[in-house]
Amino acid sequence: MFGWQKKAMATPVVDVHSHLIPAIDDGVRTLDKSIEILKGFSKIGIKKAITTPHIHPNYPNTKDDILSGLEVVNERIQAENIDLELAAAAEYFVDDVFMQRVKEKAEILHFGPNYVLVESSFLNKPIYFEACIFELQSRGYQPVLAHPERYRFLEGELEWLLQLKEMGILFQVTISSFVGFYGTIPQKIAISLYERRLIDFLGSDLHGFNQISVLEEGLRHKMVDKLCRSAELKNKSLL
Ligand SMILES: [Fe+2]
């Protein structure tokens, strides 16, 4: 490549975390907004988005809510000929309701072969988090912790995250965390996880179109760029 040629921006190719089903959680409110974001994704080189509506005490979505919403968005994707595949899973909030669901062998929305995206409370570490991870694993699922860098109760310490890694949990870090979108502590943790080679997935965690520019900024961060070009990142395997 000639020195004057600008290197094309790398992306994870498959995004694994977003809130793009209209009006079912704290993500996009309308179909038009969802389509605007998906066009933005396609423009920056994302080929597939696995959108992950919250299943959370504040947003008690069911599989039907998510899949029927997905169908509506997919109809518009086809009608507008957008070059992007949209699929759906969920972002499960780990609480006693979810724990019960896992124990009862209820259906869990997953992506790829067996990946289940989970999140914890941001403020308090749930005492049974590890037990829930273990239950998921014994059902043959591979838990993926959403935005490990953003849990405030960590107070910048990696210890809990390292323990979870030992248990076999995978980490999905938010791309814009690398450029400080969520503050300096999440940025530092994202960088530490990168340096320790503990990042398995990158995700946008997009909730609205206004986050597209910071997503692009994140994609230009040298660590994100390196990850997107490396075989370590599992996103591409989901294409
Ligand atoms: Fe999320």
Contact (Cβ atoms closer than 8 angstroms) between residue 212 and residue 206: yes
Distance 119 CA to ligand 1 centre (A): 8
User: What separation in Å is there between the alpha carbon of 6 and the centre of ligand 1?
Assistant: 32
Ligand 1 midpoint to CA 52 (Å)? 7
Ligand 1 center to 147 CA (angstroms):
8
Tell me the CA–centroid distance for residue 203 and ligand 1, in Å: 9
Q: Does the pLDDT value for residue 3 go beyond 80?
A: no
Please write the tens of the pLDDT for every residue from 144-164: 999 999 999 998 899 999 999
Spell out the CATH class of 14-238: alpha beta
Residues 73/22, Cβ–Cβ less than 8 Å: yes
Residues 6+ positions from 155 with CB-CB distance below 8 Å: 185
Distance in Å, CA 117 to ligand 1 centroid: 9
Domains of the chain, by residue range, sit at: 14-238
Decide if 14 contacts 42 (C-beta within 8 A): no
Angle between helices 222-229 and 184-195 (to 10 degrees): 40
Please state, rounded to an integer, the average pLDDT across all residues of the chain.
95
Give dist(CA 53, CA 135) in Å, integer.
Answer: 22
Q: Residue 20 and residue 27: Cα distance in Å, rounded?
A: 6
- Measured in Å, residue 4 CA sits from the centre of ligand 1 at 38
Residues 6+ apart with CB under 8 A from 215: 44, 175, 176, 204, 206
Give the torsion sign (CA, 71, 77, 83, 84).
negative
For the entire predicted model, the pTM comes to 0.96
Does 6 score more than 70 pLDDT? no
